[in-house]
Amino acid sequence: MSAESLKAGARALACASLVMAVDQITKQIAVAAVDPGHPKQIIFGVDFTNVRNRGVAFGLLGGGGDVVVVITIATIAFLLGYFVLHASRPGLWLVVGLVVGGALGNLADRVRIGAAIDFIDAPVWPAFNFADIAIVGGVAWLALMLLSPQPSPEHDAAA
Would residue 132 show up in a list of annotated catalytic residues for this protein?
Answer: yes
Q: Which of 23, 47, 109, 132 is catalytic?
A: 132
Structure confidence at residue 154 (pLDDT) = 55
pLDDT at 152 over 80: no
pLDDT at 2 over 90: no
Structure confidence at residue 78 (pLDDT) = 94
Would residue 35 show up in a list of annotated catalytic residues for this protein?
Answer: no
pLDDT at 158 over 70: no
Distance CA 47, CA 54 (A): 20
Average of per-residue pLDDT values in the chain:
88
Alpha-carbon dihedral sign for residues 51, 57, 60, 64: negative
Q: Which of 47, 109, 118, 121 is catalytic?
A: 118
27 lies in a domain?
yes
Query: CA angle at residue 73 from 67 to 79, to 5 degrees?
Result: 130
Structure confidence at residue 3 (pLDDT) = 87
155 lies in a domain?
no
158 lies in a domain?
no
33 lies in a domain?
yes
Among 5-9, 62-66, 79-83, where is mean pLDDT lowest? 62-66
Of the candidates 133, 109, 111, 138, the one whose C-alpha atom is nearest the C-alpha of residue 120 is 133
Which residues, including other chains, have CB under 8 Å from residue 119's CB and lie 6 or more apart? 26, 27, 29, 30, 34, 48, 49, 50, 51, 127, 129
Overall domain count for the chain: 1
135 lies in a domain?
yes
154 lies in a domain?
no
pLDDT at 116 over 60: yes
- 25-71 residue pLDDT tens: 999 999 999 998 899 998 888 999 999 988 765 556 556 667 778 88
Its domain, for residue 63, covers 3-148
Could you tell me the end-to-end alpha-carbon distance of the chain, in angstroms, rounded to an integer?
Answer: 26
156 lies in a domain?
no
Alpha helices in the chain, H assignment, sequence order: 3-33, 66-86, 92-113, 130-147, 153-158
